[in-house]
Structure 1
């Protein structure tokens, strides 16, 4: 059984984007499930199987996918549906994972893969910053290893100034890392990257290349200081 992403997959995602209303969505709901959601769930299952003996056990499937329906109660954008299919691979096998995870997003332009820790509060980001300072050589090795795979930490949403408690480190060689609000690495995906069974290998290779990111935060984020 193949993954099943095709030109029709992207046509449907474009359709949701361009016809974001209940009538169009329900008229195409069965096809969206067949060509977008079901193969995405199967991809997560296949990746789980391929990673079954990996050092950081990650798993996912239908239960770790996010809904297409949007909660618009407090949103400025009142479109009722997301036009991307997304989900995660987590150590708990649940999508409400509070620790490190791998994120997959399929959208009309292609999408992206991500790995690490996202949406951390300052309190939960603090231990990662502490660890960067306590073990700078390990962190620098991590950055160098990521670069070998053409990957790097995302710094787009970094703080302009040093975070509270780290203001005396403004001149530190790793100050840029201390200013990060998230501890995430991403990889853009083109449409063709999703087509064929090779997408499983692409996801698995990405997980293996970013495992050190997850491991770096295991102690510091998943077991935060009291």
Structure 2
């Protein structure tokens, strides 16, 4: 894929300045600069959405709609700084048949793409665990594949210290059964984010999430007998 959509260095530099001046007075004075950099991020997100939509079905309407607001919700937060100091956004997969979603986080020294299941409800978690207990081989095959390992390394997320209720600590799939979250993350250096090839790298990363998403979608839309529940 050829493209000339890049994220300029100024987009990351603006965040550094915002981190040093995280107050409304400074932000209001630099609002034109913020809008200029936001446009770069929205343009990049729109280009990625367009390419990703060629191989997946997404309900996110546009790059602009995918990017999160810069304003923090500080009503119940100990940290009262009013603005986020990163560019963040997500693409939602369409219909109840497609589970998982793509998330991006751009920040100097801390940029990554991620996907998965941050807070699965009790029903979903129970269903996934029952599948792992029944046959963990399909998931293990995905996690050990060359593409998964080279892109994401390992499955991440919060885990129980012991076995979940109803399962023995000696279960052959105990390493998977302990997970309470199912996250896959690919980190990028600043040089990668600012390179002309970053759109391609981001697209490839999202596409490499698909075997994981497709497996989890199949599990979460069927019962233990494999019959559809949607």
Output the CA distance in 1 between the equivalents of 2:212 and 2:36: 34
3-state SS of the aligned residue for 2:217? helix
Cα offset, 1:63, TM superposition:
0.9
Output the CA distance in 2 between the equivalents of 1:147 and 1:159: 23
The answer for unaligned runs of 5 or more in structure 1 is none
2:79 paired residue number: 77
Q: How many residues align?
A: 217
- Tell me, yes or no, if the aligned pair for 2:18 and 2:85 is still in contact at 8 Å: yes
Cα offset, 1:148, TM superposition:
4.1
Sort the Cα spacing of 1:68 and 1:223 in 2 relative to 1 into closer, same or farther, 3 A: farther
- Tell me, yes or no, if the aligned pair for 1:3 and 1:40 is still in contact at 8 Å: no
**Deviations 1:57-115 (Å, cap 9, x if unpaired)?**
2355111221110111111111111101111122239xxxx941011000122411101
- Tell me, yes or no, if the aligned pair for 1:2 and 1:196 is still in contact at 8 Å: no
2:20 paired residue number: 18
RMSD: 2.4
1:87 paired residue number: 89
Cα offset, 1:189, TM superposition:
1.6
Cα offset, 1:222, TM superposition:
5.7
1:30 paired residue number: 32
- Tell me, yes or no, if the aligned pair for 1:88 and 1:103 is still in contact at 8 Å: yes
2:206 paired residue number: 207
Q: Normalization by structure 1: what TM-score? A: 0.85
1:53 paired residue number: 54
- Tell me, yes or no, if the aligned pair for 1:125 and 1:221 is still in contact at 8 Å: no
Sort the Cα spacing of 1:69 and 1:223 in 2 relative to 1 into closer, same or farther, 3 A: farther
- Tell me, yes or no, if the aligned pair for 2:11 and 2:40 is still in contact at 8 Å: no
Output the CA distance in 2 between the equivalents of 1:220 and 1:137: 13
Which structure would you say has the larger Rg?
A: 2
Matches within 5 A, 1:212-223: 212-221=211-220
Q: 1:147 aligns with which of 143, 146, 149?
A: 149
**Deviations 1:153-196 (Å, cap 9, x if unpaired)?**
114x212222233x32x212321211112111001121111114
The answer for unaligned runs of 5 or more in structure 2 is 224-228
Sort the Cα spacing of 1:192 and 1:148 in 2 relative to 1 into closer, same or farther, 3 A: closer
2:226 paired residue number: none
- Tell me, yes or no, if the aligned pair for 2:7 and 2:44 is still in contact at 8 Å: no
Cα offset, 1:139, TM superposition:
0.8
Matches within 5 A, 1:128-207: 128-145=128-145, 146-155=148-157, 157-165=158-166, 167-168=167-168, 170-207=169-206
Output the CA distance in 1 between the equivalents of 2:93 and 2:172: 32
